Structure 1
Amino acid sequence: MERWLRLRAGPLDLAFDPEVGNIRRFTVDGREIFHTAHWVGTPAAEAAGSVIDAHLAGDFLAAPFGTSDLVSDPPHGWSANSRWHPVVRAEDGACAMMRLALEREVMGARLTKELRFCQGHPVLYQRHVIAGGEGGLTFAHHPMFRVSPGDHIAYSPKRAAVTNDPLEPAHVLAPWARSEDVTRFPSVSGCTVDLTHYPRESGHEDFITLIEADSGGIGWTAVSRAAQGDIVVVLKDSRVMPVTMLWVSNGGRGYAPWEGRHDGVLGIEDGCAAGAEGHRAALGDNAVAREGVASSVSLRPEGRLILRHAIAVLDRPEGWRGVAGVRVGADRLTVEGIGGGSLAVPFDGTYFSV
Structure 2
Amino acid sequence: MDISTIKARGFSVSLDLTVGHIADMTVDGDGRRLKPLHRAPWVDAGETLPKDLPQGTVRLSGDFLCAPFSRSDVEDAPLHGWPANSAWDITESSATDGGWRAVFRLRHKVMGASVDKILTLIDGHPFLYQEHVFSGGHGAISVAHHPMTAMKGGGRLAFSPKRFAATPADPLEPDPARGRFMLAYPARSADLGHFPAAAGGTRDLTDYRMDDRREDFVTLIEADHGGPGWTALARKAEDDLVLVLKNPAELPVTMLWLSNGGRDYAPWSGRHLGVLGIEDGRAAVGHAASIGDNWLKREGVATAFALGDSFSFRHVIGAMPLPGGEPPQEVVTADGRMRLSAGGSTWDVPFDSDFLRIGQPAAA
TM-score interval, smaller chain: over 0.9
The aligned counterpart of 1:174 is 184
Distance 2:294 2:187 in 1: 13
The aligned counterpart of 2:156 is 152
* Residues 211 and 291, structure 1, Cα contact 8 Å, conserved in 2: no
Counterpart of 1:287 (choices 270, 295, 305) is 295
Structure 2 CA distance for partners of 1:211 and 1:246, relative to 1, 3 Å: same
User: How far did 1:148 drift?
Assistant: 4.5
Structure 1 residue identity aligned to 2:16: D
Matches of residues 60-139 of structure 1 in structure 2 within 5 Å? 60-91=64-95, 94-139=98-143
Structure 2 residue identity aligned to 1:13: S
* Residues 244 and 318, structure 2, Cα contact 8 Å, conserved in 1: yes
Q: Deviations over 1:303-346 (max 9, x none)?
A: 122111011222112x3222211111111011111x21012110
Give the TM-score normalised by structure 1: 0.94
User: How far did 1:99 drift?
Assistant: 0.6
User: How far did 1:127 drift?
Assistant: 0.5
Secondary structure of the residue aligned to 2:298 is helix
User: How far did 1:285 drift?
Assistant: 2.7
* Residues 34 and 319, structure 2, Cα contact 8 Å, conserved in 1: no
* Residues 171 and 205, structure 1, Cα contact 8 Å, conserved in 2: yes
Aligned residues: 347
The aligned counterpart of 1:16 is 15
Distance 1:313 1:307 in 2: 21
Distance 1:223 1:150 in 2: 10
- Runs of 4+ in structure 1 off by over 3 angstroms are none
Distance 2:82 2:129 in 1: 22
User: How far did 1:107 drift?
Assistant: 0.6
Matched, 1:306 2:312: yes
* Residues 172 and 204, structure 1, Cα contact 8 Å, conserved in 2: yes
Structure 1 residue identity aligned to 2:333: V
Distance 1:110 1:98 in 2: 17
Instruction: Give me the CA root mean square deviation.
Output: 1.7
Give the TM-score normalised by structure 2: 0.91
* Residues 119 and 130, structure 2, Cα contact 8 Å, conserved in 1: yes
Matched, 1:256 2:256: no
User: How far did 1:199 drift?
Assistant: 2.8
Structure 1 residue identity aligned to 2:140: G
The aligned counterpart of 2:277 is 267
Distance 1:232 1:131 in 2: 31
Distance 1:182 1:287 in 2: 19
Unaligned runs of 5+ in 1: none
Task: Give % identity.
Answer: 45
The aligned counterpart of 1:47 is 50
